[in-house]
Chain A
Amino acid sequence: MHGSVDDQLDALFRAYREACPAPEPSRDFMPQLWQRIEARQTFAFSFRRMANALVTAAMLASVALGVYMAVPHSAASNSAYYSSYVEALADANTIDTPDIVAPVRLDLSEPQ
C-alpha cells in the first residue's frame, strides 16, 4: 500500500514538473538586469567614496592631533626633560618670583 502511494507521489511530482514549464524570459529581462547592476554599482561607488572621504578625514585629524600633542605649549611642559631636581626647582622658582626671593635693598647711608 505504502509503496503504491510512494509511486503515486512520484508520478504527481513528474506531472507537476511538466505542469510548471520554465517561462520564457521577457524582452526586458536583460536591460532590467543591467539597470539593476548599474544602480547597485552607483550606490556602491558613492558609498565607497563617502567611506574613503571619512577615512581620509579621520587620518588627517589623527595627524593634526599628533602634531598638536608633540609641539610644546609652555615652559612648564619642559619640566619632564630636566635632568636634575635642582634644575627643575630653579625653573619653578625663578629669581623674579617675589615671595620666594625678595629683592635685596642695600642701605648705604651712614647711621646717625
Chain B
Amino acid sequence: MLVEFDLIKRAQAGDSAAFNEIVVVYRKRILGTITRLISRPEDVEDVAQEVFLRLYFSLDQLRTPEVFEPWLYRLTVNAAYDYLRKQRRRQEFRMSDLSEQQMVMADALAGGRADLDEREAKKTRETVEALLGAVSEADRILLMLKELEGLSLKELEKIYNINENALKVRLFRARQRVLKAFEAVAKRKEPVRAG
C-alpha cells in the first residue's frame, strides 16, 4: 500500500486534503496503467481523471481500507473498458497493417524526428499492441494487468471477483492466442532476415 489506512479513512469521511493526497500518490501509477491499457496518449489523462472522479464518489462504499488498491484497479479497468467501448473503433492493429505503420515510422525517421531508442520503443509498442489485438478487449486488459502491470493472481482475483482457477484458464487461453499471433509474426519475419 502506498498510503496509510488512516488517510483513506479520512478521505472517506470527506476530507478533501486526504483525497488530494491519495490522488497525488497514485496518479502516476494509474496514468501508467491506463497508458498501457488504452494506447492513446492524448486521452490518458482524461481517463485517469475519470478513475479518480469515480473513486471520489464511491469511496464511501469501500468497506475496508485493506482492499483499496484492488478497488482502485477495478475502477481503472472499468474506466478503460468504458473508454474503449465508447471508442468502438478500437485500435485494431491488424497484422496486415503492420507494414503500413512501419512505413509511416520510416517517413518520420527520414525527417530526423526520432532517434534510434525511440524508434525501437515505438516498434515494440506497435508490435505488442498488434499482438494483443488477437484477443478480446476483456482478455487483453486481463493479460496486460498480469504480464505488463505485474499483478499477482491474488490481486487479479480481488479485482475481477472470480476464483483463481477460472482466472488461470482465462489467462492461459489469452496467452495462447497471443503466442500464436506472435509465432505467425516471427515466421513472417524469418524469410526477410534470410533475404
Is B125's CB within 8 Å of the partner chain A?
yes
Q: How many A-B residue pairs have CB under 8 A?
A: 79
Q: What are the residues of chain B within 8 A of A33 when measuring CB–CB? A: 23, 49, 52-53
- The answer to whether B128 touches A13, judged by C-beta atoms less than 8 angstroms apart, is yes
Contact with A along B26-66 (1 / 0, CB 8 A): 01110111011000010011001100110011000000000
Shortest distance from the beta carbon of A93 to any chain B beta carbon, whole Å? 70
Interface size grouping (class) on chain B: 35 or more
Contact with B along A11-48 (1 / 0, CB 8 A): 01101111111111110011011001100100000000
Most buried by A among B45, B48, B175: B45
Is A9's CB within 8 Å of the partner chain B?
yes
Shortest distance from the beta carbon of B31 to any chain A beta carbon, whole Å? 5
Q: What are the residues of chain B within 8 A of A16 when measuring CB–CB? A: 36, 124-125, 128, 148
- The answer to whether A20 touches B35, judged by C-beta atoms less than 8 angstroms apart, is yes
Interface-lining segment among B1-9, B83-91, B101-109, B179-187: B179-187
Q: How far apart are the CA atoms of A36 and B147 in the complex, in Å?
A: 33
Interface of B is mostly: helix
Q: What are the residues of chain A within 8 A of B179 when measuring CB–CB? A: 2, 5-6, 9
Q: What are the residues of chain B within 8 A of A2 when measuring CB–CB? A: 179
Closest to A21 in B: B32
Closest to A5 in B: B183
Query: Which of A12, A19, A22 contacts B121, CB < 8 Å?
Result: A19
Tell me whether A30 and B124 are in contact in the complex, defined as CB-CB below 8 angstroms, given that A9-B182, A36-B53 are known contacts.
Answer: no
- The answer to whether B20 touches A25, judged by C-beta atoms less than 8 angstroms apart, is no
Query: Which of B32, B45, B128 contacts A26, CB < 8 Å?
Result: B45
Shortest distance from the beta carbon of B11 to any chain A beta carbon, whole Å? 12
Q: What are the residues of chain B within 8 A of A23 when measuring CB–CB? A: 31-32, 35, 41, 44-45
Q: What are the residues of chain A within 8 A of B23 when measuring CB–CB? A: 30, 33
Q: What are the residues of chain B within 8 A of A6 when measuring CB–CB? A: 179
Is B178's CB within 8 Å of the partner chain A?
yes
Q: What are the residues of chain B within 8 A of A15 when measuring CB–CB? A: 124
Closest to B178 in A: A9
Shortest distance from the beta carbon of A51 to any chain B beta carbon, whole Å? 17
Most buried by B among A8, A24, A37: A37
- The answer to whether A12 touches B183, judged by C-beta atoms less than 8 angstroms apart, is no
- The answer to whether B45 touches A30, judged by C-beta atoms less than 8 angstroms apart, is no
- The answer to whether A32 touches B49, judged by C-beta atoms less than 8 angstroms apart, is yes
- The answer to whether A8 touches B182, judged by C-beta atoms less than 8 angstroms apart, is yes
Q: How far apart are the CA atoms of A20 and B27 in the complex, in Å?
A: 16
Most buried by A among B27, B35, B124: B124
Chain A contact residues, CB within 8 Å of chain B: 2, 5-6, 8-10, 12-13, 15-26, 29-30, 32-33, 36-37, 40
Given contacts A19-B121, A22-B33, A29-B27, 7 further A-B contacts (CB under 8 A): A8-B182, A16-B124, A17-B148, A20-B36, A23-B45, A32-B49, A37-B56
